[in-house]
Structure 1
Amino acid sequence: MVLVTNYREITPNSGRTFVYGGSPMSLNGIFEAVCIIGVFPIIVWLSASGITTDNTSRRICRFLGDISFPLYMVHYPLMYAFYMWLIKTELNG
Structure 2
Amino acid sequence: MFVRSSLERLERWKEFSEELYNHEQPQGLLADPPRIDPPTTTMPADEPTIEQVKTAMQPLRNGKAAGADHVTAEAIKTGGNVLLHRLHALLQTI
Same fold, judged at TM 0.5 (above): no
Give the TM-score, by structure 2 length: 0.22
Q: Choose 1 or 2 for highest CA Rg.
A: 2
- 1 or 2, which has the higher strand percentage? 1
Higher relative contact order (CA 8 A, sep 6+): 2
Give the TM-score, by structure 1 length: 0.22
